[in-house]
Amino acid sequence: MPNKRVHLDTVVLEAMELLGADERKSFQELADEAFADLLKKHRRPVGLRASLHQSLRRAPANANARKRSP
């Protein structure tokens, strides 16, 4: 997995470390959860399976069906 560097304010980093200690999670687990939530908020899939699933839902199942008149 490629490594990336991010700059966090000291206050934010300290808050993350306290949260990690309270939740018994590593910084990486907290970051993974935060990024997954951000992607979900913006309706962006995470992984191939989610991408395929989302692409199927874009077009309605009966998009080309003609409407029947009563």
Domain, as residue range, for 19: 10-56
Question: How confident is the model over 21-60, as pLDDT tens digits?
Answer: 999 999 999 999 999 999 989 988 888 888 888 787 666 6
Prediction pTM value:
0.65
Q: Is residue 49 part of a domain?
A: yes
Looking at the predicted structure, is the pLDDT value of residue 65 above 80?
no
Q: Is residue 2 part of a domain?
A: no
Q: Flag whether 24 is in a domain.
A: yes
Look at residue 21 and tell me if it is in a domain: yes
Residue 63 lies in a domain: no
In this predicted structure, what is the pLDDT of residue 68? Answer: 64
Geometric angle at alpha carbon 30, from 28 and 36, rounded to 5°: 100
Q: Is residue 62 part of a domain?
A: no
Straight-line distance from the first to the last Cα atom of the chain, in angstroms, rounded to the nearest whole number:
59
Whether 68 maps to a domain, the answer reads no
Under 8 Å CB-to-CB from 54, ≥6 apart: which residues? 43, 45
Query: Per the structure, how many domains does the chain have?
Result: 1
> Has residue 32 been placed in a domain?
yes
| Average of per-residue pLDDT across 4-23 | 94
Is the CB of residue 20 less than 8 Å from the CB of residue 30? yes
